[in-house]
Structure 1
Amino acid sequence: MFDTALLIFAGLAAGMLNAIAGGGTFISFPALVWVGVPPVMANATATLTALPGYLSSAWAYRHDMETQDPLPIAMVLFLAAIGGLAGAGLLLITTQETFSALVPWLLLLGTLVFGLGPFAMKHMRTGTKAPKPVAAAVLLAVSIYGGYFNGGLGIMLLAAFGLMGLTNLHGMNGLKNLVSALLSVVSVAAYTVAGLIAWDAALVLALAQLCGGYIGARLALKITDTGLLRMFITVIGLVMAGIFFVRT
């Protein structure tokens, strides 16, 4: 009963955070590990359970979504699918021991990217489009990372969209959730074939994230300053990374 309650709470919180500012993986992944799911399987399951939240958030943002040159939306989705499959493939050949050793570093990297991302983006030349090959290479690299590990993916995608010349934050958030959903679909397809999904935990977490994602998206449209929330999520990520460093 406690495990179920923990997964419901983690799912609601993760879905809301992913919709508003990102960082839900810093809650959903450790929750799965704490209820006894092995790290590689927990990573795959966390990716699956984030999918309903991404979809509901993308639907809430459907009227704001947009893209433009240098990469049209069809190219963005194609690169995301290819990168997601490549990242999932890398995870499939990673042993439990190796991934367990990588987990704290991945959490730390994702947290730092998440926490420092807005500062870096503030100093980018918004509205200036990077050359098409550069934008494509950055998006592909981010998609490979997202197929392997979900932490910090949201802010990385926002940075990639900034290089593409997008400036409408709500539109960028909608596209971020759509791309994240596609990444999750192709990655989860590979994980499912490999038998890496903990289905009992996944069902509870996915339903909770579905509700949390929609609620978070509606709240996000009313929030003008997410600075304090981002600081809170960054602290959570650092604490989680610290715990996993101690455990390994």
Structure 2
Amino acid sequence: MEFWHIALIIGGGFAGGAMNALAGGGTFFSFPALLAAGIAPVSANATNAVALWPASLSTAWALRRELRVLPLHAYLLPLGLAAMIGGLGGGILLLLTSDQLFYRLIPWLLLLATLLFTFSKPLARLAAGSRERSEKLRLGPLGFICQLLVSLYGGFFGAGMGIMMIASLAIAGRTQVVEINAIKSLLSSVIYSVATLTFVIAGAVHWPALLIMLTGTIAGGYFGGRLARWLPDAWLRTLVILIGWGLSLFYFYKVYG
């Protein structure tokens, strides 16, 4: 691996960690950096997922208090089961996908993630504005199926998964935004844990790139957390959206042009 590859991965990891701490959308920075460094598409996606895994665990632990008021056996365990099955299925599906096919899917996956991030505000308002629905203390079939599909996508690619999960939890009847964020963090940690274990066992992780990227994501997350006090959220979201659309158009041209 050449020096500029190392610098690119560190820079992508730093930007990804910072943006996840500030406004989300860090995958738009970290995943393309791995691709540009010459890492095969499937391995780059697996490595990127493993790099995001520690942050998902720490976030879930930080929000554990909000989860204690929710029924364990009737709600959280079925949701966790859906996340585990979907995350495992998505991870296996990624491993069964050839680099050539996944490379052709990259523009579409980036476009989907960009659309989700672009319209995340309306989706968040949907979650906040669903207070007329009765609060469900038991997970129904619709909620289980929605979470299963979101988890399948998360195990396969992951970018935009959080927005999809917010929408699915709102559709399933959750009304409190704080609770939705806590549940989302818990389920994301389950999905990333299962997918990470799958990728490690299958040998799909590019370990040198992962270790290099972790130095960037950790530093970027700390920097982003400090910077969040000063920068307006609207500026950051606009930056991520512009980069998402730019990357989508770039990869459509690169793959199909």
Q: Could you state the TM-score of these two structures normalised by the residue count of structure 2?
A: 0.84
Given that 2:49 and 2:158 are in contact with CA atoms closer than 8 Å, whether structure 1 keeps it comes out as yes
Given that 2:53 and 2:196 are in contact with CA atoms closer than 8 Å, whether structure 1 keeps it comes out as no
SS in 2 for 1:196: coil
Structure 1 45/56 Cα, relative in aligned 2: closer, same or farther at 3 Å? same
Structure-2 separation of matches of 1:177 and 1:217: 17
* One-letter amino acid of the counterpart of residue 61, structure 2: W
Q: Could you say which structure has the larger radius of gyration?
A: 2
Aligned equivalent of 1:233, options 219, 229, 240: 240
Corresponding position of 1:49: 51
**Structure 1: 5+ residue stretches without partners:** none
Structure-2 separation of matches of 1:176 and 1:17: 18
Is residue 2:250 matched to residue 1:243? yes
1:184-221 per-residue CA deviation (whole Å, 9 max, x = no partner) reads 1111222222221110001121243234446656776x
Is residue 2:191 matched to residue 1:183? yes
**Relative to structure 2, which stretch is displaced further, 223-232 or 233-242?**
223-232
Corresponding position of 1:156: 164
Q: How does 1:113-192 map to 2 (within 5 A)?
A: 113-123=116-126, 125-127=129-131, 128=133, 129=135, 132-192=140-200
Q: Give the percent of matched residue pairs that are identical in Structure 1 and Structure 2.
A: 37
Given that 1:39 and 1:96 are in contact with CA atoms closer than 8 Å, whether structure 2 keeps it comes out as yes
1:33-82 per-residue CA deviation (whole Å, 9 max, x = no partner) reads 01110111111111111112222333343444567469622222221111
1:212-237 per-residue CA deviation (whole Å, 9 max, x = no partner) reads 446656776x6997333222211111
**Structure 2: 5+ residue stretches without partners:** none
Is residue 2:112 matched to residue 1:109? yes
Structure 1 171/17 Cα, relative in aligned 2: closer, same or farther at 3 Å? farther
Task: Give, in angstroms, the shift of residue 100 of structure 1.
Answer: 0.6
Task: Give, in angstroms, the shift of residue 119 of structure 1.
Answer: 1.4
Size of the aligned set, in residue pairs, is: 247
Task: Give, in angstroms, the shift of residue 4 of structure 1.
Answer: 2.2
**Relative to structure 2, which stretch is displaced further, 81-90 or 182-191?**
182-191
SS in 2 for 1:72: helix
* One-letter amino acid of the counterpart of residue 43, structure 1: N
Structure-2 separation of matches of 1:157 and 1:19: 18
Given that 1:20 and 1:216 are in contact with CA atoms closer than 8 Å, whether structure 2 keeps it comes out as yes
Task: Give, in angstroms, the shift of residue 153 of structure 1.
Answer: 0.8
Structure 1 213/176 Cα, relative in aligned 2: closer, same or farther at 3 Å? farther
SS in 1 for 2:119: helix
Task: Give, in angstroms, the shift of residue 171 of structure 1.
Answer: 4.0
Corresponding position of 2:87: 84
Given that 2:87 and 2:154 are in contact with CA atoms closer than 8 Å, whether structure 1 keeps it comes out as yes
Task: Give, in angstroms, the shift of residue 15 of structure 1.
Answer: 2.2
Q: Could you state the TM-score of these two structures normalised by the residue count of structure 1?
A: 0.87
Given that 1:49 and 1:202 are in contact with CA atoms closer than 8 Å, whether structure 2 keeps it comes out as yes
Corresponding position of 1:59: 61
**Relative to structure 2, which stretch is displaced further, 153-162 or 92-101?**
153-162
1:133-174 per-residue CA deviation (whole Å, 9 max, x = no partner) reads 111111110000000001111111122222344444344333
Structure-2 separation of matches of 1:96 and 1:153: 22
Corresponding position of 2:217: 209
RMSD of aligned alpha carbons: 2.7
